Amino acid sequence: MEKCVKLTGQEDHAITLATVNLLTKNYRRHAGADADWGGFIGKAALESLMAPEAAVGIRYYYGIDTAGARRLILVGVDENRNDLLKGAALKLTLREPHHRYGRVLTSDADHAVIPAEAAQMTLRYRRSAAEGAVIGGYFGKA
C-alpha cells in the first residue's frame, strides 16, 4: 500500500485571475443556468476550523442538502490527512447568499452542521455523482 505524503499547510493553492476566469466560465457553460455557481463561508467559521493545534488545513467534501442543492462541507485536517472532528468541527458553506438567495438567515450564519447531517449530504452527492467524479479536496493553512 502506498504511503500518503503528509500535509504541511504550506501547499501552494495560488492561481492567476485569467485561470479563475477560464475555470468559472467553463463551469457555468457546463453546469447550466440553474446550477449553484459558488458559495460563501465567513472568516470566523474558517478560523474555528483552523483553531485546533493539529490543524494544517481544511478539507472539503461535496454534499447535497435536502433541497437538492450542492454544498461544500468543511472540516479541519491534520498532517496525516485525518479529519479533526472534535468540537465545532464541521462547517457548511452558504449558497451564494448575496446574489441569488437573498439575505443570510441568522440560523445559517455560523455555518454549523452536525456530523450525521454532513454524512447524509456527502452520501447523496456520491450517489448522484458520475463515476470518477471529484468528491472533495484540501486547502493548506498558508
In a domain, 49, yes or no: yes
In a domain, 74, yes or no: yes
CA distance 20 to 45: 24
State the first-to-last Cα distance of the chain, in angstroms, to the nearest integer: 29
CA distance 43 to 129: 30
In a domain, 2, yes or no: no
Residue type, 21: N
How many folded domains does the chain comprise? 1
If phi > 0 it is left, if psi is from -120 to 50 it is alpha, else beta; for residue 111 that is left
What is the torsion angle, in degrees rounded to the nearest 10, for the CA atoms of residue 123, residue 140, residue 134 and residue 132? -110
In a domain, 4, yes or no: no
Q: What is the mean pLDDT of residues 60-75?
A: 86
The 10s digit of each residue's pLDDT in 102-140 is 544 444 556 778 788 888 888 888 888 888 887 787 777
> The domain containing residue 70 runs over which residues?
17-140
In a domain, 131, yes or no: yes
Lowest average pLDDT, out of 16-30, 42-56, 93-107, 128-142, goes to 93-107
In a domain, 10, yes or no: no
Q: Does residue 81 have a pLDDT over 60? A: yes
- SS3 category, 53: coil
